[in-house]
Structures are given as structure tokens and as C-alpha cells.
């Protein structure tokens, strides 16, 4: 697969087949992702590969906490406290595309809530990769981990696998870290749903647009 094709075709998959992912594929993906650059070659990324009963137990615990009305306390703030344009409109449009694909009306709060809970089930993916790093590292480690994450998703695509990077899986970090034996001296960044895409699912049919170059590029001569 050409890199250009991989970049165009990668998308966040939100419906997976009930098909196991081969262990050798996971290892190939991780080996390739580990080729990502990092400042000073620190390679700060840490990965927990979770499946089976452990994945199910975490998913149930996350869902229970959410249904109980307990607000998540992630290890870091992902979104801004105060929204401005164009980010407000982009986020709104993204959500509307998702719910429209499922035929969920904006006023149907119950169905929207149930769809959100699918995040904690990683949309039925058989594998979740939890990404974390040591908390004493500086902000540059977040950049490094982002490079690793993109490399991981592109490597997965070449193996015929789909992914969905999910900050939602890091909303209740203590649940995840306690179950996986990750220390409190680590920051849980996200989870990545990994598996074979259900290409027939309506939620996998839409694609979010990208801004034109004129919106984010300036040239200086």
C-alpha cells in the first residue's frame, strides 16, 4: 500500500467484526510504529495490549462508572476549557455526521447516550491498545507519542486492520491503570480500538472533511 493511499483511507472505525486479531500482526504493527521519531530518541511510549476477559472487565467498569453519573477525571485535559471558532463548528459538524449516519436525531438524548457508551466497549473491537507515558516526562513526550500513534494506525491499515484512537478510554484512568498494573506515576493518554472493520455498518460509511490549505498554511518568501 502506498503511503498516500494509507493517509487517504485511514479513518476512525466505529464498528468491528467479531474476528480475532492475529498476534503476529499486532507485533508487526508495534515494531513498525516503534520506528517513529522522538526527541533525543527517548521513545517514551508505553503500550498495553488488552483483549479477552481483561478488555471486557475494563469495558464493564467504565460503563458502570459512566451510567452512575460519575464524571471522568482524565490524567490530562484533551479539549480546551473555552471553545472558539473554527473549532466549535468543526466539532459540532463531526458529531452531526456520526449521529446522522446512525439515524439518531439531535433531540434523542437516550440514543445519543447509548451510542456514547459504545466508546467504552471500543465499538466491539477485539483488541485495545492503551498508550501511556511516565508523568515526569515533559510536553515533548506527548508530541513523540502522537508520532507513534499515527505510525501505529498506518501500520495497522497495511495489515488489513482498522483502528479508532479514543480519548474516551482514558476518561477514568484509575480504572484502567489499576486493572493493568500501571502506576500512578504514569499518564494514560488514550486507547486505540484495533480489529477488522465491519464495512457494512452505517457508522463506518461517512468521512469527515479536511480544511483547505488556505485555512492553515502560510507561505513566506
Mean pLDDT to the nearest integer, 163-185 = 98
Q: Give the domain ranges of the chain.
A: 3-78+120-207
For 3-78+120-207, CATH gives 3.40.109.10
pLDDT at 1 over 90: no
- pLDDT at site 106: 87
What tens digit of pLDDT does each residue of 53-65 get? 999 999 999 999 9
What tens digit of pLDDT does each residue of 104-123 get? 998 999 999 999 999 999 99
SS (HEC) of the chain: CCHHHHHHHCCECCCECCCCCCHHHHHHHHHHHCCCCCHHHCCCCEEEEEEHHHHHHHHHHHHHHHHCCCCCCCCCCCCCCCCCCCHHHHHHHHHHHHHHHCCCCCCCHHHHHHHHHCCCCHHHCCEEEEEEEECCCCCHHHHHHHHHHHHHHHHHHHCCCEEEEEHHHHCCHHHHHHHHCCCCCEEEEEEEEEECECCCCHHHCCCCCCCCHHHCCCCCC
Q: What is the pTM of this model?
A: 0.96
Amino acid at each position: 500500500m502506498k503511503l498516500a493511499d494509507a493517509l487517504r483511507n485511514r479513518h476512525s472505525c466505529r464498528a468491528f467484526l467479531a474476528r480475532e486479531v492475529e498476534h503476529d500482526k499486532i507485533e508487526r504493527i508495534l515494531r513498525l510504529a516503534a520506528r517513529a521519531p522522538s526527541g533525543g530518541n527517548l521513545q517514551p511510549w508505553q503500550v498495553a495490549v488488552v483483549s479477552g476477559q481483561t478488555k471486557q472487565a475494563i469495558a464493564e467498569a467504565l460503563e458502570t462508572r459512566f451510567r452512575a453519573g460519575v464524571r471522568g477525571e482524565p490524567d490530562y485535559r484533551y479539549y480546551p476549557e473555552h471553545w472558539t471558532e473554527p473549532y466549535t463548528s468543526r466539532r459540532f459538524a463531526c458529531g452531526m455526521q456520526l449521529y446522522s449516519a446512525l439515524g439518531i436525531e439531535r433531540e434523542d438524548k437516550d440514543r445519543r447516550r447509548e451510542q456514547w457508551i459504545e466508546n467504552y466497549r471500543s465499538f466491539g473491537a477485539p483488541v485495545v491498545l492503551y498508550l501511556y507515558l511516565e508523568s515526569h516526562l515533559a510536553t515533548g513526550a506527548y508530541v513523540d507519542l502522537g508520532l507513534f500513534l499515527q505510525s501505529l494506525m498506518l501500520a495497522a491499515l497495511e495489515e488489513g486492520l482498522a483502528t479508532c484512537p479514543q480519548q474516551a478510554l482514558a476518561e477514568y484512568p484509575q480504572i484502567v491503570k489499576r486493572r493493568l498494573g500501571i502506576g500512578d506515576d504514569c499518564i494514560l493518554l488514550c486507547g486505540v480500538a484495533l480489529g477488522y472493520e465491519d464495512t457494512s455498518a452505517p457508522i463506518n460509511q461517512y468521512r469527515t472533511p479536511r480544511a483547505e490549505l488556505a485555512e492553515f498554511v502560510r507561505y513566506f518568501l
